[in-house]
Structure 1
Amino acid sequence: MPVDVVAARGAALARRVRELDELRAVSAEGAADSPPTVAAYVSIGGEPDTRALIDELRAAGVRVLLPVLLPDNDLDWAVYEGPEHLVPAGWGLHEPDGPRLTPEAVTQADVVLLPGLAVDRTGLRLGRGGGSYDRVLARLERAGGRTSLVVLVYDDEVVDAVPAEPHDRRVHAAVTPSEVHRFRH
């Protein structure tokens, strides 16, 4: 996709995410001493652009957690403090340069924004195959499953079916540049 199309679709995606009922609810509940927390990610390659979104969330007072890839492909987390605090981390990834919070920190999130190659109409998400987010989803389930799970994809990446494994977990919604898809479990 041309750079201007990626940027335009990223801006549309950010608008849709900001309109999510889940984000409005946690923003309304968040007090000054306890801001809402969203776990997000810095997009890479052909993924929908998330940079404007994470900046907007942070500017709105949301505590944004970003992943830090560990050697075993699990994810640690750190607070996003702005684009000047992102450092290259290999594989095209950018990670926060701040203190690491532990892999369990994601369980503090009210909403988790997930990358995906595709999502099917039942909420099964297809990832890149490294298992990083499979571990995150399992960790969130063990913590009680109260976190809203939202995958960010392009419109043509919402498909009828994706390959599934027994360990796969469904997401609650998919946000594309043109709409929000809700899934019932």
Structure 2
Amino acid sequence: MSDAIADAKRALRAELRERRQLLTPQAREVAAAGITEQLDALIATHGATSISCFLSTTTEPGTREFVAGAVARGIRVLLPVTRTDGLLDWSVATPDLDIAEGMFGLPEPVGELLGPIAVNDVDLLVIPAAAVDRTGMRLGWGRGYFDKTIGSMERCPPVYAVVFDSEVLDEVPSDLHDQPVSGVVTPTQTIVLAPARR
């Protein structure tokens, strides 16, 4: 990755992180309710019975309510668990989900771990992002876990990134290893994108 792209990513991430910190608890609650509604509709549209999702941090658009509701309806939800080798293990969400702090201070499930290939069976991937642009390029938080996962899947299902409305941008800095997404979910809308294939 060129220094210019790396610098642009760092600067944009810092700005987005700061904006997220400024959101009020009420704004976060409204966003979480909107995300739940949008993701429920997305699952229905795709007829998904097995998905991957993530447990949101306090500054991310809330996904925990959605995960709990999906599990209660019998949908199989795989949650990511970070590994030191840059890959993700997966754990099946349960109604009485135990959550602990993962490697990077992120909320992760406690339970039986399935290996990285477990995600190959899902109908839909729901992943975190800092921002997504209108061509489908996603700016992550810089660790590359989801780019590696998407890039290694033989038959990748639709991939939707979850962001706040203001984080759907005209363009995000990207490099060759960055993987595009199929769409973006915000608290007010779901946008299907035609990703720029590499």
User: d(CA) in 2 for partners of 1:176 and 1:44?
Assistant: 16
1:144 aligns with 2:165: no
Q: Is the 8 A contact 2:82 2:103 kept in 1?
A: no
The alignment's TM-score, normalised by the length of structure 1, stands at 0.88
Kindly state the Cα deviation for residue 90 of structure 1 after the two structures are TM-superposed. 4.5
The residue aligned with 2:146 is: 133
- Asked whether the 8 Å contact 1:44–1:92 carries over to 2, the reply is no
Take 2:82 and 2:133, find their aligned partners in 1: how far apart are those partners? Answer: 26
Unaligned 5+ segments in structure 1 are: 28-35
May I ask how many residue pairs the two structures share in their alignment? 173
Gaps of 5+ in 2: 1-22
- Which residue of structure 2 aligns with residue 74 of structure 1? 87
The CA distance in 1 between the partners of 2:86 and 2:61, in whole Å, is 22
CA contact (8 A) 1:107 1:139 kept: no
8 Å CA contact 1:23, 1:111 repeated in 2: no
1:91 shift after superposition: 3.2
Deviation at residue 85 of structure 1 after TM alignment? 1.9
| Percent pairwise identity | 32
How far apart in 2 are the matches of 1:47 and 1:57?
19
The answer on 1:164 being equivalent to 2:174 is yes
Cα distance in structure 1, aligned partners of 2:177 and 2:103? 27
Q: Tell me how far apart the structure 1 counterparts of residues 130 and 58 of structure 2 sit (CA, whole Å).
A: 11
The offset of 1:71, in angstroms, is 1.2
Post-superposition offset of 1:89? 2.3
For the pair 1:115 / 2:166, whether they are aligned, the reply is no
TM-score normalised over the length of structure 2: 0.82
What SS class does the counterpart of residue 49 from structure 1 fall into?
Answer: coil
SS of the residue aligned with 1:165? coil
Q: 2:46 matched to which residue of 1?
A: 25
CA distance in 2, matches of 1:41, 1:50: 7
